Amino acid sequence: MKLYYQTHSPYARKVLVLAHELGLAASLEVIHHETSPTTRNETIYRANPLGKVPVLMLPDGSALFDSIVICEYLDTLHPGPGLIPAQGAERFQALRLQALAQGLCDVGIKLRWEVERRPAHLRYPAYAEGQAYKINEAFHYLEAHLDVEGPVTIGHVALATALDWLVFRELADFSAHPRLSTWYQRFCERPSMRATEYSGQTHD
């Protein structure tokens, strides 16, 4: 299988960290592709009409996207218990945490456009403040509700890669949330995270 990837995408990294956690990383040929809203990557557009990574190319030539779908697929390839609980409250807790982490990435990207990527005269400070507020509210929620002792799930993988992306882009500081910070630092020591660290810059 080929994984169309980007070394600074939190969505792509979530997939690769999950693959490492499941012992499937050796099954993937990871191919870096630069994408952005202002440039067209022909290879990616042929596989995904939204022009976004990650994309998983299967042996039969078909493509899976986006990260949520790819993670669900990879989890089915693991012979033992996967990282997405099959049923019950545990399943929906894991999926809810993944959704929150996905939202952190979405909001962080919007914030980055307003504080860094958009030309200065086109920036909208009130919009940036609104995105930053959402991020901080998520940190408060995670500080109170994150399960720091239970088994690792897709939710934890998604959260760790989202938090590490916010740190990588210098968009948010959650050091005032000790439970969250301690969990994040501990999770970043996992081999799956060390093997997939962020690098590179966006090219528009």
| Gap between the terminal Cα atoms of the chain | 28
The pLDDT value recorded for residue 78 is: 86
pLDDT of residue 90: 96
Find the radius of gyration of the CA atoms of the chain.
17
Domain at 88-190: CATH architecture: Up-down Bundle (1.20)
| pTM for the predicted model, two decimal places | 0.96
Q: What is the pLDDT of residues 132-176, one digit of tens each?
A: 999 999 999 999 999 999 999 999 999 999 999 999 999 999 999
Cβ neighbors of 200 (< 8 A, separation 6 or more) are 6, 7, 8
pLDDT of residue 187: 98
The phi and psi torsions of 196 (rounded to 5 degrees) equal -130, 30
Contact 180, 142 (CB under 8 A): yes
Encoding tokens for residue 51?
Answer: 């022009």
What are the domain boundaries of the chain?
Answer: 2-76, 88-190
50-85: pLDDT as tens digits: 999 999 999 999 999 999 999 999 999 988 889 999
**Domain boundaries 2-76, CATH class:** alpha beta
